[in-house]
Chains A and B, each alone.
Chain A
């Protein structure tokens, strides 16, 4: 083996040891492990939302079969759920890149920031815009439904209000979880 190649290999091994001394390779590994975990947390919340949307679609269809809700309302509700499912997928697309962890730090941080921005946009603008009319339409449909006995109307409405509050709270907690994970990821990337 030529001396030059030997020296080259010696230089490479010294370089590796230097990088390990500075912990740059190990820190990079730890950082990537952490980012992987954050992405996994964020996607898990998304899947929960999608699952709820699918269950809601089945529930609406079931209610239509029972005759409790009108066809236009059920169709609109199903379309709304599909829109929310697609919206959830859209919010998560920046983190779907398989090469995300191979990108530079700034690109990865931008991806997390974009997910956070999209989630906040949904919470502050899209959710109130869609939810309020839907609730009003639901109440209207419910009041004018001839298939619900009068004595069950009030308890059903109370149950609906409580469910809506609990559902809203859970949804907000999932939202906060995603936003916090994004903030934490960006903070770690900026510090590295």
Chain B
């Protein structure tokens, strides 16, 4: 199988993961698509380095999260301009599934960028070591951050 086919399979396998990350970092439809494309570009650029199945999921998560975090940081540095086009709210729906996803989005969206990344990884049932490897921090630091994130989410729920 050549590199392109392998890459297509990788994207197909982890597409929902990548989109999950994108949706947790942006609610704007166009931005989500842009983020998705940026992540694919970064995955393709680094594809030659990671071929082993064991590391693949962690690697995809790392690239996706780092891409979203860096785009978000660049956005904050740029002066915000008004959008020309009317943004259609995907979540303008009474469907219970959509409302649940919306609730998740609201909770996670209120967190900082790094905290958002950590809680997403933790919800994916990743170990502290794996989370630390992806985020580039120690597993002990992961534990401390997770504790603080949970406290913040708990306060959010209590309000």
- Is the beta-carbon distance between A12 and B90 smaller than 8 angstroms? no
How big is the A interface, by class? 20 to 34
B19 / chain A contacts, CB cutoff of 8 Å? 20, 25-26
Smallest CB-CB separation from B103: which chain A residue? A12
B93 / chain A contacts, CB cutoff of 8 Å? 102
B150 interface hit (Cβ, 8 Å): yes
Contact segment of A1-9, A85-93, A113-121, A133-141: A1-9
A28 interface hit (Cβ, 8 Å): yes
A99 interface hit (Cβ, 8 Å): yes
Q: From residue 27 to 69 of chain B, which have CB atoms closer than 8 A to chain A?
A: 29, 32-33
Residues A21 and B88 in contact in the complex (CB < 8 Å), given A1-B153, A9-B104, A13-B123: no
Chain A 17-56, CB within 8 Å of chain B: the 1/0 string?
1111100011011001100100000000000000000000
Smallest CB-CB separation from A32: which chain B residue? B88
B89 / chain A contacts, CB cutoff of 8 Å? 102
Contact with B153, one of A5, A19, A32, A99 (Cβ below 8 angstroms): A5
Q: From residue 85 to 108 of chain B, which have CB atoms closer than 8 A to chain A?
A: 85-86, 88-90, 92-93, 97, 100-101, 103-104, 107
Q: How many residues of B contact A (CB 8 A)?
A: 30
A29 / chain B contacts, CB cutoff of 8 Å? 29, 32-33, 90
- Closest Cβ–Cβ distance, residue B128 to chain A (whole Å): 15
Q: From residue 14 to 28 of chain B, which have CB atoms closer than 8 A to chain A?
A: 15-17, 19-20, 23
- Is the beta-carbon distance between B100 and A2 smaller than 8 angstroms? no
A161 interface hit (Cβ, 8 Å): no
Report A's interface with B, CB cutoff 8 A.
1-2, 5-6, 9-13, 15-21, 25-26, 28-29, 32-33, 36, 98-99, 101-102
Report B's interface with A, CB cutoff 8 A.
15-17, 19-20, 23, 29, 32-33, 85-86, 88-90, 92-93, 97, 100-101, 103-104, 107, 120, 123-124, 150-151, 153-154, 157
